[in-house]
Structure 1
Amino acid sequence: MSSAPTCAQVLMHLLREYQVEKVFGIPGVHTIELYRDLPGSGLTHITPRHEQGAAFMADGSARASGKPGVCFLITGPGLTNAATAMAQAYSDSIPMLVISAVNRREDLGMSRGRLHELPRQSDASRGFCVWQHTLTQAEQLPEVMAKAFQLLRSSRPGPVHIEIPIDLFPAPMPGQLEDYHAAPATRAPGANSTAITIAANWLQGAQRPVILLGGGAQAAGEAATQIAEKIAAPVFLSLAAKGVVDERHPLCGGANLSFDCVRNRVENADVVLAVGTELSETDRNLVREDYAFSGQVIRIDIDTAQLVCNASPDLAICADAAESLQQLNAALVQRNGEAKEQSEQEVAQLLQDCRKAWWDGSEERFPWVEALRASLPENGILVTDSTQLAYNTNHALPLYHPRSHATCTTGYGTLGFALPAAIGAKLSSERDVIALIGDGGLMFTLGELAVAVEQQLPLPILVWNNAGYGEIRDFMDAAKVPREGVNLHTPDFVALARAFGAEACRIDQPGQLAEAVNAAFSRQTPTLIEISAPSGAEQREA
């Protein structure tokens, strides 16, 4: 008879039962027993160079695949190093399971100065997790894992943190490994039929309807498109929803909610259907004023609290976005073709008006946006950091498929996201991935380039080099604040990349981008493509 499995073995087994394939983490003294049986478990372990990179990789993995990304972290600094990336995932509702060690049970709360000790470690993550739990008995693990995955798969997602005392990793568990199974997923809730009837009647009778989609509508694009065609409604996207509806569709106005012309159209709609969106400041590109809706507002969201956030609805539907829109689509009938044609013309004019309203400096970057669109495969994934060119791609680079856009320019707005998140996305998807990051942001997580080399990823990494924190520099100039702390010494990124074992090149013309990206896709190693930003030489002298 085989010996009883340990808590760590059951954890690995259950992760595979829940269809987890990869985990991102850095082993430490406190997780030796967690790692003992990792080889042979069926899980692939990816070692980042910093725990923040681990959580960003898990985030990118989740965005690309739609499945929870998983991290293994050590006690104390492992968790606090990952905190920023976990908070970004919390802000963007990204499913992430973080398994961390914590000191032995008899040491918890005793302040004995143990290695990695963090007083009240559980409190540290509580503010940026949808659920946090400390395992106190090994036998609790299956129930705790079931609760975690129910939250990750069947409600508004976000990071879940389970901390396991180090004395529990080798603790014996009852029975055999094959006795432990994943709990069945709960079917996402549909909408109340009465609410669907009311919503359908309002939309069917509307003369100027509009549809707003957020990141919570990732799986609802097809139904949203069908509804838009039936009721001749323009569709506008939050940045988290880019690609949910094909931005080539003549009724899709893209992620342009920050422009006055779109704002006026939304505010003057007689019925607004808002699905899976916070209607937040970052959806409006830091425009603080909430929409002043003049018509009826229908909100659909899996999170009850979000139904009244930033705008009170006339009809609130707490349900899954995809299920609800499928129900709603079935309740609607097709309008005449003339109404659809008029809406298509209106959307085309609005897109032209948005282009005219771009902020200073955008026009000189637009050729780069066009070149990037031409370089990105139709079903490719664009991962962007907070950098000047990314703010233009947010609005001006159309995407055609769901889960094609991962950005940190929304919500929490950290720097350093794009490189590790792109690595996570590429490791979890067969789609081509392009990372776009600024010179300032790249320095936050540059070490993760080693992981891309190690994993032999054909990953183009575009570095928009404007010799500093260019966007903040522009804000300082606009506010007549002296430039302080924004002009940076930039290293030789090409030489640095080659030192890591990556390929690298430097370009300064948009016409050079496609060749550089295509060459990057053909290699079994990452390629750093440094772009000398317009006016970059001037900024370096500033």
Structure 2
Amino acid sequence: MTRIGGDVVVETLRALGADTVFGLPGQHALGLFEALRRADDVRVLSSRVENNLAFAADGFARARLAADPRGPVPVTPMIVSTGPGALLTLASLQESRAASVPVLGISSQIPVAGLGGGRHGYLHELPDQQASFRDIVKSVHVVRTVSQIPTALREAWTVAATAPYGPVWVEIPQDVLLAPASLPPLREVTATPVPLEPLPELVAEASKLLAAAENPVILAGGGALRSGAHAALPALAEALRAPVVSTFGGKGVFRWDHELSARSWLEDWHTTEFLAGADVLLVLGSGLGELSSNYREFAPRGRVIQVEADLGKLESNYPALGIHADVRLFLRALEVPPRAADGRAEATVADLLARVESRLDSQDLAAERKLVDDIRAAVPEGTQTFWDMTIAAYWAWSAWPPDGAPIHTAQGAGGLGYGLPGALGAAATGSPALAVSGDGGAMYGLAELATAKQHGLDVTWLVIDDGGYGILREYLTGAFGETTATELARPDFVALAESFGVPAVRSTPDSVGADLAKAVRTPGPSVVVLPAVLKMFAPTHLEKR
């Protein structure tokens, strides 16, 4: 067969290391999907809606990062068609950008003659499709000839895999994808991201500050997790005798039950004060944004050292010794003299966690705490978990023990609908996956039950049905005493799942642990529906009183 531009795309992706592509066909992308059909060493996973396709690619990349944080950066290709198909991925790519997930978005385009407002009247035509993506992704690349394809994809792959990781966007016109390819078959295309090394003088200053600190504390963020600092971080914490608090995005980089682990209760005032009281706070891979700073209530009283791969986040919220670097490379360069273990740090951690426990005990939250415990107990080791923006997820941000069951949430951008498609992407890696959604978020991804069934993906979906947008109901009622537009009509989720050929069960708060355990251990997709109205713990301003 005559090789075409689409074949060059697929050959380049395979040479760069892709073995799985998430794709949804469209008229302008026919050349790409014909090339994927011809390829016998690239798997194609579809979805029903483009935003869910992009969420699934994000979930695939996160699951591979969690499984092998020191391995090759798992840049994950996602292919869609022009115009409406491309634009539907924007909210999902915003999440990938906020959470530093390496997704390579590839879109077809109208023919070259129409680019930049040349000829008009093409189906799906936009005046400037690139403009929609420039402020969402790390970089945008446009191809106009077949010979440009390998370099454009290599450049995009390199940007996606360079710390901080993130999504990139490549556009290839329809006629380029269908054009005969005169290039020889491609097998040796490589991308080599430049390591983001710290400046030696800044490392030396950080070493001096930490060595002199009497009460050092470490805040480990998503950048520490993405960089694969799982071994270097405990070594530093033990040398410094420094407690470690993990941000919601950094959960899993430091062992949950480690004697120096102060865990992740970032919306708890005791934890906020614990961080603020450090004479030197070492922030690894966090921008100290809204969630990590307890909604801007955090006010450090000591020195802050901030190590961050995203240059724009350095000192964007708090003054600090800002060090632009990959966290793992910074930790490799850092030298601090080890301290004797006198038990003081461990005692402060134990005291903090006891105060958090006492605060929770003082509120009527037994049902919520039991639910998190029941879900965790039902999940076997090695299961990837994906949580939508729902009250159960807000609890999991703080309370979920991630060791052996990594947690992935949409708290980077905060959009609804992430849970199920993210879990489908993770299941495509061969790992069992759990998705947790509220009934509101579940409605965004119901069509993907067909995807789960078609591909036989091992995903268990827990839908917590409280009759509406539960967290927004709490916010509105708390602020104004009443709620508006949060109460939802919804389907019979059990019957609907069964109509897709997916086994489902309606559970209760008493039986949900057993129902989930059975579903998770049954191969293939399954759904557990739990009618329940959950509450959040008391907000920050009440905690301070």
**TM-score between the two structures when normalised by the length of structure 1:** 0.92
CA contact (8 A) 1:458 1:522 kept: no
SS of the residue corresponding to residue 450 of structure 1 reads helix
SS of the residue corresponding to residue 133 of structure 1 reads strand
SS of the residue corresponding to residue 437 of structure 2 reads strand
Q: Does 1:220 align with 2:229?
A: yes
Aligned to 1:406: 408
Q: Does 1:72 align with 2:79?
A: yes
Aligned to 2:185: 177
Cα drift, residue 333 of structure 1: 2.7
1:37 & 1:111 partners in 2: Cα distance?
A: 27
Aligned to 1:326: 332
CA contact (8 A) 2:392 2:534 kept: no
Aligned pairs (5 A) from 1:104-143: 104-108=111-115, 109-110=117-118, 112-143=120-151
User: Once the two structures are superposed, what CA deviation does each residue of 1:338-396 show, in whole Å capped at 9, x if it has no partner?
Assistant: 1xx22112112212322344597643211001111211223322110011111111111
SS of the residue corresponding to residue 157 of structure 1 reads coil
Cα drift, residue 187 of structure 1: 4.9
1:107 & 1:60 partners in 2: Cα distance?
A: 34
Cα drift, residue 534 of structure 1: 4.2
User: Once the two structures are superposed, what CA deviation does each residue of 1:399-458 show, in whole Å capped at 9, x if it has no partner?
Assistant: 115x812101x2311101000000001112x33321111001000111011111112122
Aligned to 2:155: 147
User: Once the two structures are superposed, what CA deviation does each residue of 1:206-258 show, in whole Å capped at 9, x if it has no partner?
Assistant: 11101111111111121111111111111111111111111111211122222
Identity of counterpart residues, as a percentage? 31
2:119 & 2:464 partners in 1: Cα distance?
A: 46
Change in 2 beyond 3 A, CA 1:40/1:105: closer
CA contact (8 A) 1:261 1:350 kept: yes
1:73 & 1:267 partners in 2: Cα distance?
A: 46
The one-letter amino acid paired with 2:152 is V
1:280 & 1:535 partners in 2: Cα distance?
A: 26
2:146 & 2:163 partners in 1: Cα distance?
A: 26
Aligned to 2:541: none
SS of the residue corresponding to residue 223 of structure 2 reads helix
1:438 & 1:490 partners in 2: Cα distance?
A: 11
SS of the residue corresponding to residue 444 of structure 1 reads coil
SS of the residue corresponding to residue 38 of structure 1 reads helix
CA contact (8 A) 1:236 1:253 kept: yes
Cα drift, residue 111 of structure 1: 6.5
1:51 & 1:207 partners in 2: Cα distance?
A: 52
Aligned pairs (5 A) from 1:342-421: 342-358=344-360, 362-400=365-403, 404-408=406-410, 410-421=411-422
Cα drift, residue 525 of structure 1: 2.2
Aligned to 1:305: 312
The one-letter amino acid paired with 1:227 is L
2:529 & 2:210 partners in 1: Cα distance?
A: 48
Structure 2 unaligned blocks of 5 or more: 66-73, 536-545
Q: Does 1:99 align with 2:102?
A: no
Structure 1 unaligned blocks of 5 or more: 537-542
Aligned to 2:43: 44
CA contact (8 A) 1:364 1:534 kept: no
The one-letter amino acid paired with 1:335 is R
SS of the residue corresponding to residue 456 of structure 2 reads coil
1:508 & 1:317 partners in 2: Cα distance?
A: 50
Change in 2 beyond 3 A, CA 1:284/1:270: closer
Cα drift, residue 535 of structure 1: 7.2
User: Once the two structures are superposed, what CA deviation does each residue of 1:135-194 show, in whole Å capped at 9, x if it has no partner?
Assistant: 12221112111211111112312210101111100223343114x522242352332333
CA contact (8 A) 1:365 1:534 kept: no
SS of the residue corresponding to residue 231 of structure 2 reads helix
Aligned to 1:540: none
CA contact (8 A) 2:198 2:323 kept: yes
The one-letter amino acid paired with 1:406 is H
The one-letter amino acid paired with 2:122 is R
2:484 & 2:299 partners in 1: Cα distance?
A: 37
**How large is the Cα RMSD of the aligned pairs?**
1.9
**Corresponding residue to 1:276 among 275, 280, 285:** 285
Cα drift, residue 472 of structure 1: 0.8
User: Once the two structures are superposed, what CA deviation does each residue of 1:481-533 show, in whole Å capped at 9, x if it has no partner?
Assistant: 432111111211100010011010011124x2333233223333211001121
SS of the residue corresponding to residue 177 of structure 1 reads coil
SS of the residue corresponding to residue 479 of structure 1 reads helix
SS of the residue corresponding to residue 116 of structure 1 reads coil
Instruction: Tell which deviates more after alignment, 295-304 or 465-474.
Output: 295-304
Aligned pairs (5 A) from 1:194-343: 194-218=201-225, 219-284=228-293, 287-289=295-297, 291-313=298-320, 315-328=321-334, 331-338=335-342, 341-343=343-345
1:265 & 1:84 partners in 2: Cα distance?
A: 35
Cα drift, residue 465 of structure 1: 0.8
Change in 2 beyond 3 A, CA 1:99/1:184: closer
The one-letter amino acid paired with 2:25 is P
CA contact (8 A) 2:391 2:534 kept: no
1:535 & 1:387 partners in 2: Cα distance?
A: 10
Change in 2 beyond 3 A, CA 1:497/1:224: same
Cα drift, residue 20 of structure 1: 1.0
User: Once the two structures are superposed, what CA deviation does each residue of 1:88-146 show, in whole Å capped at 9, x if it has no partner?
Assistant: 11121111111001111111214722111112111111121100121122211121112
Cα drift, residue 13 of structure 1: 0.8
The one-letter amino acid paired with 2:43 is T
CA contact (8 A) 2:221 2:248 kept: yes
**TM-score between the two structures when normalised by the length of structure 2:** 0.92
CA contact (8 A) 1:507 1:513 kept: yes
Cα drift, residue 310 of structure 1: 1.1
User: Once the two structures are superposed, what CA deviation does each residue of 1:271-294 show, in whole Å capped at 9, x if it has no partner?
Assistant: 111111111103345x134x3222
The one-letter amino acid paired with 2:224 is A
